[in-house]
Amino acid sequence: MDQFALPVQKLIEEFEKLPGIGRKTAQRLAFHVLNLPEERVTGFAKALVEAKRKTTSCSVCGNLTDVDPCRICSSAKRDHSVICVVQSARDVAAMERIREFRGVYHVLNGLISPLDGTGPDDINIKSLIKRVAHEKIKEVILATSPTVEGEATAVYISKILKPMGVRTTRIAQGIAVGGDLEYADEITLYKSLEGRREI
């Protein structure tokens, strides 16, 4: 016989489909949910559906938003001449957390990765070029992660944008703040040496 009642089994399976959630954790989460009052459970279900239904990609920058254009693209307080190019909407959130960047974003929704079959046309590069061509852009900051794919994507974009006369920069790579020189890998250490500045 089944170990759990069918509706419980189904819920466990749904939790198991989430990334990083194994069978045991899925069971723990499902039983936690079953112990909640019904309105809490329906609230959770509603949040799931509404988050999916009420959000779209911003038609300007590609960021995840509930209004189009997104709040950043339509804000008069932001500097629309500086575009920060990131891989995903989560990276926008990470950048916003530092409360330092006052420009706007461009979300690629992916990185160039020949191994995964993702080419330049599969991510939002064309719309970025269009923005640079039609708007008055002073600087494009390439803020993809310093991985092989992130680096390749940044190089690819910079090669297109530079001839267009726009200043193209890349975020600094080096030892993380609080990190230990001794444990840094060679490439990171090299990058931190290469990117040294006068103090």
SS3 sequence of 154-170:
HHHHHHHHHHHCCEEEE
| Angle at which helices 125-134 and 148-161 cross, to 10° | 30
Residues with Cβ within 8 Å of residue 68, at least 6 apart in sequence:
56, 58, 59
Find out whether 142 and 95 touch, Cβ atoms under 8 Å.
Answer: no
Minimal distance, residue 99 CB to a second copy, in Å: 10
Least distance CB 8 / a second copy (angstroms): 5
Question: Quick one: which segment of 59-67, 133-141, 142-150, 179-187 binds a second copy (CB under 8 A)?
Answer: 59-67
Question: Given the rule CB under 8 A, which of 62-70, 113-121, 122-130, 172-180 is the region that contacts a second copy?
Answer: 62-70
**Does 50 sit near a second copy (CB under 8 A)?**
yes
Bridge partners (DSSP) listed for residue 83: 104, 140
By CB under 8 A, residue 46 contacts a second copy: yes
What is the phi-psi region of residue 147: left when phi exceeds 0, alpha when psi lies from -120 to 50, beta otherwise?
beta
Range 150-179, binding a second copy (CB under 8 A): none
Only one of the segments 53-61, 147-155, 170-178, 186-194 lies at the binding site for a second copy (rule: CB under 8 A); that segment is: 53-61
Stretch that binds a second copy, among 24-32, 134-142, 159-167, 185-193 (CB under 8 A): 24-32
8 lies in the binding site for a second copy (CB under 8 A): yes
Among 87, 88, 153, 168, binds a second copy (CB under 8 A): 88
Residue whose CB is less far from a second copy, 14 or 116 = 14
CA distance 193 to 173: 10
- In whole angstroms, how close is the CB of 116 to a second copy at the nearest point? 15
Joined tokens for residue 128: 């970025």
Q: Which amino acid is at 62?
A: G
> Residue from 22, 59, 71, 138 that binds a second copy (CB under 8 A)?
71
How much of the chain is helix, strand and coil, in % rounded to 5?
A: 45, 15, 40
Among positions 79, 81, 93, 126, the unique one binding a second copy when judged by CB under 8 A: 93
Please state, in angstroms and rounded to a whole number, the distance separating the CA atoms of residues 83 and 107. Answer: 10
